[in-house]
Amino acid sequence: MIPRFALPFPVRDTKERGTVRSVPVTTAKAQRHARVFFPSIRSIRFPPLLLPILFLLITISLAPAILPETATAVPAARLDARYVGMEEDRVGKGGQVAPDGEEDALFRAVLDTEGERRVVKEILLQSSDRYGRPTGRQAWDTRPGGFWILGVYRDGERLNPTDREISDQVRRRVVYDLYANPGSFRPGDYFLVTVRFDDGGAATAVARVNVPPARLSASYLGMSRDVVGEGDRASPDGRVDGEFEAVLETGGAPRRVREIVLQSADARGLPAGPERWDTRPGGFWILGVSREGERLNPTDRTIPHAAANGTRYNLFASRPGGFMPGQHYRIVFRFAEGDEASSHVEISGESPPSAGQPDGPGPTPGGSGKISGSPWRPTTVPFDPECKTGCQEVMHVRDAHGADMTFMYNPKVDDAVAQWGDCVHSMLTCLNDGKTDLLECVGKSACPEPCRRRFLDRVGGERDPLRVLGVFEAVFIVKGAECGPGDGPGGK
């Protein structure tokens, strides 16, 4: 039966006398009202001041039935946890509450109820993944007859000296020491700590068994094999690649390698310069990776994999002009755990074959062979660090401490370093116009003719800008370059 309700004041029906009208109400609260009647709504006339009162009374009457009931909020609590190590022997296996002669794993949990009074009824420690999802491999708790017993201490006092429930009132920040009989606590394993309260709430935290830092050692093996090409080409392209060897030491912990990077560096091993090869699809140029002889990226793809201690890798990178003695590179292994290991490598040995053709014996300067002796003219005015004669003042400044500094320059100095500086400056001046390429600028430069010929011979028919730049570095820039500033074959 549909219930009916009436207003708490008399009304008059001016059109349909004696007709009874009712209003259906479906709320649970209204269904408990007594059945009452009032005349037709269509014909009711109210005094103007009565309407607000009517609306207020109806609202107060129906509000408890219409508004949803709200549950009492459970206070929040924060929990942090960490693995301390294998410490004292406090508990045994299964439900054995007494020591059994084996050191236990100690986890330290810090609970903060933020001023709310809470009662801790249970603490659970279990194996999980890095996101706190239980794996079901191992578990310890404080429930009688549950998993293996978890020894719980607060302020040095044992809360469960027997296999029984705990009931610990908390209203501030407290520290719990949790002891678990040795199961398997391997470096890198994750564990979920759960604290449950008597009001049904819970707080959780993930702790990880300490992982020793990974170490990487690497070396350059030379231009040996053709494994990858330029860009994202994962297959050979007919040109030998630079090969590096890397050995990963994980400290006994299983690690998951997410990415490997080879990048140019300075003499300290810090990243420097634009060169980079990696194992990310669509990233920089591809870095070919083989592990224990097995190719991990036969296509341009990622290489996530588990790495054991002592795993050996061979890395292959294509570089225009090859890898030159004196260049520095940095190899980086990045792990899924968020850390990384790196190694600094300096290229040593002789310069590799040219980009365009094999290197080897041939005609003397003026032909296509190596430069014999120094390409620089004999020095007539050596560099004088004290600048006693022939010097001109370039600049005079006063530093922040009030000291005066004068910069001097002798334009007549013509040792190998000065001649090399004039050589490189003339090429840079040519390139600055933005209209002339490197090949033409070298040919028109103030560099010695043997150097210009050596560069053009090594370039051969190559016209790829990056490869030409690689040859330029090999002839003029890197340590040991034939036309370098005094440290080449003919340098001092």
CATH number of the domain enclosing 273: 2.60.40
Please choose, from the candidates 119, 124, 121, the residue with its C-alpha nearest in 3D space to the C-alpha of residue 171: 119
Contact 31, 16 (CB under 8 A): no
CA 158 vs CA 126, 176, 456: distances in Å: 20, 10, 82
Contact 362, 369 (CB under 8 A): yes
Verify that 63 and 160 share a domain, yes or no. no
Mean pLDDT for 94-99 is 91
Please, which pLDDT band fits residue 357 given cuts at 50, 70 and 90? very low
What mean pLDDT is reported for the chain? 81
The answer to whether position 474 is within a domain reads no
Residue 354 has pLDDT above 70, yes or no: no
pTM of the predicted model as reported, rounded to 2 decimal places = 0.49
Verify that 192 and 267 share a domain, yes or no. no
Contact 335, 422 (CB under 8 A): no
* pLDDT value of residue 180: 95
Total domains in the chain come to 3
Question: In the chain, what percentage of residues exceed pLDDT 90?
Answer: 43
Verify that 106 and 9 share a domain, yes or no. no
Contact 265, 328 (CB under 8 A): yes
* pLDDT value of residue 358: 36
Mean pLDDT for 380-409 is 84
Verify that 340 and 320 share a domain, yes or no. yes
Mean pLDDT for 314-320 is 92
Verify that 115 and 230 share a domain, yes or no. no
The answer to whether position 387 is within a domain reads no
Question: In the chain, what percentage of residues exceed pLDDT 70?
Answer: 79
Verify that 178 and 108 share a domain, yes or no. yes
The answer to whether position 445 is within a domain reads no
The answer to whether position 266 is within a domain reads yes
pLDDT digits (tens, 9 = 90+) for 234-265: 999 998 999 999 999 988 777 889 999 999 99
For residue 82 the two structure tokens come to 């960490």
* Among candidate residues 67, 89, 109, the one where a domain is terminated: 67
* pLDDT value of residue 387: 86
Please, which pLDDT band fits residue 140 given cuts at 50, 70 and 90? very high
* pLDDT value of residue 22: 41
Please choose, from the candidates 331, 348, 341, the residue with its C-alpha nearest in 3D space to the C-alpha of residue 265: 331
Higher model confidence: residue 32 or residue 149?
149
- Which residue range forms the structural domain that includes residue 198? 78-208
* pLDDT value of residue 365: 31
- Name which of 13-17, 57-61, 338-342, 368-372 the model is least confident about: 13-17
Please, which pLDDT band fits residue 21 given cuts at 50, 70 and 90? very low
Verify that 160 and 240 share a domain, yes or no. no
